[in-house]
């Protein structure tokens, strides 16, 4: 079967699907009153996808309901081509190529961080979910920071920074400004994307292994999880305002913040927390009385368990109050290079250059 490109959309927004042998009408599919100029079938022949301006519509040809079963929204320019490989792949006049998963994460956007360079040279190295904002933030290996609309996957803004070849990064909205931080071998760098300037750098212990970076939502502190300690700096002065030794080996990328309070999860599933808000000249944070965060702060947790070897096992999210598994990434997207979870949305970045935003 083939969706006839000559028929397009007719009779008030109905796309006609015909059998190429007999010419008989196989199905009539409801579509917007606009030109449907290109279609392609998925391998099983049951789903057909078509381009209408900036969007992709997917119909189930075996379903008696003529309405689309899925609409992919994300391109800001007109879509110029559409093919199906392991996923739907579209190109657009907005200079991006996007990969859309049909049957995998069906209700959530999958977007591709696009640059002039090949995607394998622009892998995602950092993702963040700034507090109380409907955006996700990604940074690729070329130092390009982008903000994404959580509900649609549309790129809202793009900024070029000096953050190239990094492993750990974090972003936070401070007084309406997006502040992006990243680690090099011996420094933490803080960059104001609006002004396009580096405004703070702090020195690190170059011999320690970095495992996680966070910026407090009030914009006062930057937190760094080492393999053996947690160290905190003042963003205003660049001075160390707190330092604690860890009681065990932390899970990769397991630092969680609630303003000036911080928790770390260990490989034995224990959790240790401190309040850095009252630190003075002694730089001695106050240990939190509970070994795990309270239900009041549960929605801010983003503990991600990457069972070793993480590149072969699915990533799992745990509720640290009940100990229950909340969500598991599987299939094609089980091996993200970076993940964040804010209790509702999961954003994951991949070496392929893809960013998945998942409502969990």
How would you class 185 by CB atoms within 10 Å of its CB: exposed for 0-12, middle for 13-18, buried for 19 or more? exposed
**How far is the C-alpha of 357 from the C-alpha of 253, rounded, in Å?**
18
| Secondary structure class of 295 (helix, strand, coil) | helix
CA distance 4 to 19: 9
Q: What is the separation of C-alpha 114 from the centre of its chain, rounded to a whole number of angstroms?
A: 14
What SS3 state is found at 330?
Answer: coil
Can you name the CATH fold of 112-359? Methylamine Dehydrogenase; Chain H (2.130.10)
Structure confidence at residue 34 (pLDDT): 63
pLDDT in tens, 282-332: 457 888 865 455 544 444 444 555 544 445 566 666 665 555 666 777 667
What SS3 class is residue 299? helix
Q: What is the pLDDT of residues 162-173, one digit of tens each?
A: 988 787 788 888
Full-model pTM: 0.63
pLDDT of 131 over the 80 cut:
no
Quick one: pLDDT at residue 233? 93
Contact 154, 98 (CB under 8 A): no
Q: What digits encode the pLDDT tens for the residues 215-226? A: 988 889 999 998
DSSP class of residue 190 equals E
Residue 58 contacts residue 48 (beta carbons within 8 Å): yes
The pLDDT of residue 323:
57
Higher pLDDT, 27 or 104: 27
Helix (H, G, I), strand (E, B) or coil at 342: coil
- Residue 108: the pLDDT is 53
Domain boundaries along the sequence of the chain: 9-103, 112-359
List 221's β-bridge partners, or say none: 234
Strand 25-30 with 70-72, pairing: unpaired
């Amino acid at each position: 079967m083939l969706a006839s490109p000559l028929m397009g959309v007719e009779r008030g927004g109905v796309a006609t699907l015909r059998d190429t042998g007999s010419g008989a009408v196989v199905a009539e599919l409801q579509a917007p009153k606009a030109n449907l100029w290109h279609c392609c079938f998925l391998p099983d022949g049951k789903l057909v996808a078509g381009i209408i301006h900036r969007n992709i519509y997917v119909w189930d040809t075996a379903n008696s309901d003529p309405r689309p079963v899925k609409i992919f929204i994300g391109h800001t320019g007109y879509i110029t081509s559409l093919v199906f490989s392991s996923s739907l792949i579209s190109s657009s006049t907005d200079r991006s190529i996007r990969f859309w998963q049909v049957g995998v994460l069906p209700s959530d956007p999958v977007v591709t961080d696009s640059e002039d360079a090949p995607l394998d040279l622009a892998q995602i190295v950092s993702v963040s979910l700034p507090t109380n904002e409907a955006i996700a933030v990604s940074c690729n290996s070329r130092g390009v920071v982008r903000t994404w609309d959580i509900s649609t996957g549309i790129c809202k803004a793009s900024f070029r920074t000096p953050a190239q070849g990094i492993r750990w990064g974090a972003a936070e909205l401070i007084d309406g400004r997006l502040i992006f931080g990243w680690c090099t071998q011996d420094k933490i760098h803080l960059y104001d994307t609006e002004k396009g300037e580096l405004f703070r750098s702090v020195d690190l212990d170059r011999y320690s292994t970095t495992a996680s970076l966070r910026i407090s939502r009030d914009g006062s502190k930057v937190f760094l999880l080492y393999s053996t300690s947690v160290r905190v700096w003042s963003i205003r002065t660049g001075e160390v305002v707190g330092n604690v030794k860890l009681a065990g080996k932390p899970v990769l990328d397991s630092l969680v913040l609630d303003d000036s309070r911080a928790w770390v999860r260990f490989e034995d599933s224990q959790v240790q927390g401190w309040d850095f808000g009252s630190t003075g000249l002694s730089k001695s944070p106050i240990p939190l009385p509970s070994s795990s965060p309270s239900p009041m702060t549960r929605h801010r947790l983003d503990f991600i368990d990457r069972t070793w070897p993480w590149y072969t096992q699915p990533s799992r999210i745990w509720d640290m109050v009940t100990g229950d598994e909340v969500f598991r990434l599987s299939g094609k997207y089980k091996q993200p290079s970076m993940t964040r979870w804010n209790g509702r949305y999961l954003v994951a970045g991949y070496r392929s250059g893809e960013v998945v935003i998942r409502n969990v």
